[in-house]
Amino acid sequence: MSQSVLDQLLEMGFDKSRAELAVKKSDGLPDAMDFLEKTENTPIEELLEEEESGANVAKVADGTVAMSLVCNECGKMFRTQGEAEFHANKSGHTDFAESTTEIAPLTEEEKKKRLEELRERVKAKRAGQAEVDKEEQKRNEQIRHKATRESHELKEELQRKEQMKEAAKKRQEKLDDQEAKKRIKARIEADKEERRRKAEQAKAAREGRPVPVPAATPPPAPAAARPAATHNEARLRLQTSGGNVMKTFPADTTLFEVAQLLETENGLTITKFIQNFPRKVFEGNLDLGKTLKEAGLVPSAALIVQ
């Protein structure tokens, strides 16, 4: 009988240790399921400890057959020792005695009805837990999607800034090239004029004419002072656990954005950046919210990633 009840409990999905204890403390499948339901939130270690301690039960007089157990503190009667111990654990009552009063057993119809009620409660509870698990999984999926979307948006923003920086660099290179061509052309013209003047002077000397004096030419206008260099990007050498990584970022990129990019590309978990020369440690929301320019990492720097 006990083995059959144990098999049924295991088929229903109950833990083996709890199921074995329920069989030991109950009389049949309904009692076992009732015990499991009432003790589902009690740790198995506590149940086993209570099983070893047992309840304090007074014996009936010699020669008298005990038919039940009674709690002297509340008067409730029990068919089995297991039921009395369960009551003791829940109520804190410790004064029990054997009784000659027989408790009428449940009819087959009552047993069947009680078993169906217990099964329905177990089924409803599992359905409720499944719904809770489903909602939890849904929330976790939403968090994962949000993190993926934010990471993608950050990557797109960094790419956009990189493209803007590259376009500005090409425009500056084009202007520098135009200025260089103008300087070369002016130099060629000056050389041609110098050769022409020398040729005229040589011809005048051969013909006995006065050597023409070149008209005073105004001094060349001083070259416009080039504006002080403004660094719009930072070239970083990042020392990670997987090796060194070279990256170029716009100067207004924050250290938090750098950390997010490294986490996305390399799967790192980053809490701080360390600069050795000069010694600086960037960590926490205040430091990671600084731009590379504000942190003094422009135009280049070497950082240890931790």
The 10s digit of each residue's pLDDT in 188-232 is 999 899 998 888 888 888 888 776 666 655 555 555 555 545 678
Q: What is the pLDDT of residues 255-270, one digit of tens each?
A: 999 999 888 888 888 8
Residue 113 in tokens = 């009805």
Q: For the chain, where are the alpha helices, taking DSSP H only?
A: 2-11, 16-25, 29-38, 44-53, 81-91, 108-207, 255-266, 284-288
A 10 A CB-CB count for 122 gives 17
Measured in Å, how far apart are the chain's first and last C-alpha atoms? 62
**What are the distances in angstroms from CA 220 to CA 16, 179, 185, 198?**
100, 16, 15, 21
- The reported pLDDT for the residue numbered 229 is 56
The C-alpha atoms of residue 233 and residue 236 are separated, in whole angstroms, by: 10
Q: What is the pLDDT of residues 28-40, one digit of tens each?
A: 777 788 788 778 8
* Strands, sheet with 233-240, edge to edge from the N-terminal-most edge strand: 243-250, 233-240, 300-305, 272-275, 280-283
- The reported pLDDT for the residue numbered 60 is 47
128 CB-side CA count, 13 A: 6
Residue 152 in tokens = 């993608």
Would you say the pTM of this structure is higher than 0.85?
Answer: no
Q: Are 281 and 274 in contact (CB under 8 A)?
A: yes
What integer best gives the mean pLDDT of the chain? 82
Please give the distance of CA 129 from its chain centroid, rounded to a whole number.
Answer: 25
Cα Rg of the chain, angstroms: 46
Backbone angles phi, psi at 2, to 5 degrees: -60, -40
Residue holding tokens 């009428």? 104
The C-alpha atoms of residue 94 and residue 84 are separated, in whole angstroms, by: 10
The C-alpha atoms of residue 306 and residue 172 are separated, in whole angstroms, by: 37
A 10 A CB-CB count for 74 gives 10
**What are the distances in angstroms from CA 268 to CA 150, 235, 285?**
16, 20, 18
The C-alpha atoms of residue 98 and residue 59 are separated, in whole angstroms, by: 5
Phi/psi zone of residue 136: left (φ > 0), alpha (ψ -120 to 50 degrees), beta? Answer: alpha
What is the mean predicted confidence (pLDDT) over 295-299? 92
